[in-house]
Structure 1
Amino acid sequence: MKELDPTTASFGELDAAASRLLAGLGPLRDADVAAPSLLPGWTRGHVLSHLARQAPALERLLKWAGTGVETPQYIDRQARDAEIEAGARQPAEALVADVRRTSAHFQRAVEELPAPAWDATIRPFTGELCTPRRILVIRLRELELHHVDLAIGYGFHDIPATARDIVLDDVLGYYAEADGVPRFTLRDGRGAELARFGTGGPVVSGERADILAWLAGRASGDALETTGRLPELPPWI
């Protein structure tokens, strides 16, 4: 599991990702947020509602770490989905304001989390045991991938290299432990090996942004090169 230490640089990555997102939301109007996103079945309003509601949900995990009192991220998936649905049909101005407010509140929460809490054990909605260092990765990943999902002119090649590589390492870490991953080797555009799944199989290579898009289920992999048939990956979370 990818984690980030609670440093000024890590906090800066989160803040910069949120700022890029919010800068892109400015022109959105009501008809824009009602339009489909790149995620099947979700409008842009659903994506924005999810981002807004995810921030306080992650803060509940930070509270768990700070107090030692178990505070789940969500009660259950039904409650999570209901929160997203309830916010998805809000006007654009309200949705953007919600994302702005909750992002700022989350940023303060991580920056003010007491040092001992960063070593506490918590359990996110996805089920793994971790420390709040994992929360920094989760939030950065969600900000960047869902920014792309909004289809507002921000693509995988627009993600800055540092943030992109953090998210890429996180997705690769998932597949390293997942069941049903076929054998193949993954290399970036310069030939550096990023991951090896089993022994043998084709070599898949390409730009890191294109690799991330494929691994995260946002692209078919047409932009990648392979020495054989492109592997069929199990779904990513």
Structure 2
Amino acid sequence: MTNTPTRTFDDSRRWATEGTTLFTRAVDALEVAELDRDSQLPGWTRKHLLGHVAANADALGNLISWAETGVEKRMYASPEQRNADIEAAATRPAEELREWYLRSAGELEAAMDRLTTEQWEHEIITAQLVTRKAHDIPWMRAREVFIHAVDLGVGITFADLPEDFLRALADEIRTKRGLSEDELRDVVGPLPEVAAWLAGRPHGLVDAPELGPWL
């Protein structure tokens, strides 16, 4: 892994679309009762995950609106409100959650299609209060749908995700975690396992140091 950028804007748009398709198929394969069962994220059911991914689409839609109109529109009112909304979503009827997810995903895709090349260069502020260009929004969405498709616990693993996406993901997480080459030297294994380890998800690496959940 290197610090060299391993993704383009077109990559991110493609991954966001592919990840949404994968997540949608995973959700569609679940029976209503199965949505109430635990996900692979500690303390979250599959309903928590579905509500979170739906709310994320709406929140990223706010950033798209900001880039499109120039009028500031933050992702969430506050971190507390975001967390409260996820907990509330977990109590909603399954079909209502599915409809919300499908609507929000479709609206986000349509909103991204509207932006001009110039608008993608506008600055926005993420939920972590980081200033970024709007062209990073598709990448932010791709991470959510791909990783949380794994978190649903329906048999999808990091090995099912695109290799080029995994390379970009691993490079980003390594940088954000501040892991040095020395710290990574003894972490050897297939890319999907390394990416899963970096993301703090279950993996098959031997003797890799424990990392907390990321994303």
Tell me the TM-score normalised to structure 2 length.
0.88
Q: Between the two proteins, what is the percent identity of the paired residues?
A: 32
Can you give the 5+ residue segments of structure 2 that lack an aligned partner in the other structure? Answer: none
In the TM superposition, 1:143-162 aligns within 5 A as 143-162=145-164
Superposed displacement of residue 70, structure 1: 1.7
Partner of 2:57: 55
Superposed displacement of residue 44, structure 1: 0.3
Letter of the structure 1 residue corresponding to residue 65 of structure 2: K
Partner of 2:205: 224
Superposed displacement of residue 86, structure 1: 1.9
Partner of 2:108: 106
CA distance in 2, matches of 1:218, 1:121: 31
Q: 1:206 aligns with which of 164, 183, 189?
A: 189
Q: Which has the higher helix share?
A: 2
Q: 1:91 aligns with which of 75, 93, 96?
A: 93
Partner of 2:130: 128
For residue 187 of structure 2, give the secondary structure of its aligned residue in structure 1.
strand
Letter of the structure 2 residue corresponding to residue 231 of structure 1: P
Letter of the structure 2 residue corresponding to residue 91 of structure 1: P
Judge conservation of contact 2:23–2:148 (CA < 8 Å) in 1. Answer: no
RMSD, aligned α-carbons: 2.3
**Structure 1 residues 5 and 109 mapped into 2: Cα distance closer, same or farther (>3 Å)?**
farther
Superposed displacement of residue 118, structure 1: 1.1
CA distance in 2, matches of 1:149, 1:162: 20
Superposed displacement of residue 233, structure 1: 4.2
Question: Bigger radius of gyration, 1 or 2?
Answer: 1
For residue 151 of structure 1, give the secondary structure of its aligned residue in structure 2.
coil
Partner of 1:184: 182
Total equivalences in the alignment:
212
Letter of the structure 2 residue corresponding to residue 165 of structure 1: R
Judge conservation of contact 2:12–2:139 (CA < 8 Å) in 1. Answer: no
CA distance in 1, matches of 2:211, 2:155: 27
User: What CA deviation, in whole Å up to 9, does each residue of 1:152-195 have, x standing for no partner?
Assistant: 1111111121222232232123123xxxx577353xxxxxxxxx
**Structure 1 residues 108 and 120 mapped into 2: Cα distance closer, same or farther (>3 Å)?**
same
Can you give the 5+ residue segments of structure 1 that lack an aligned partner in the other structure? Answer: 187-201
Letter of the structure 1 residue corresponding to residue 119 of structure 2: A
CA distance in 1, matches of 2:119, 2:212: 34
CA distance in 2, matches of 1:17, 1:235: 20
Q: In the alignment, does 2:143 pair up with 1:141?
A: yes
Superposed displacement of residue 106, structure 1: 0.7
Tell me the TM-score normalised to structure 1 length.
0.80
Q: In the alignment, does 2:15 pair up with 1:32?
A: no
CA distance in 2, matches of 1:65, 1:45: 30
Q: Which structure's relative contact order is higher, taking Cα pairs within 8 Å and 6+ residues apart?
A: 2
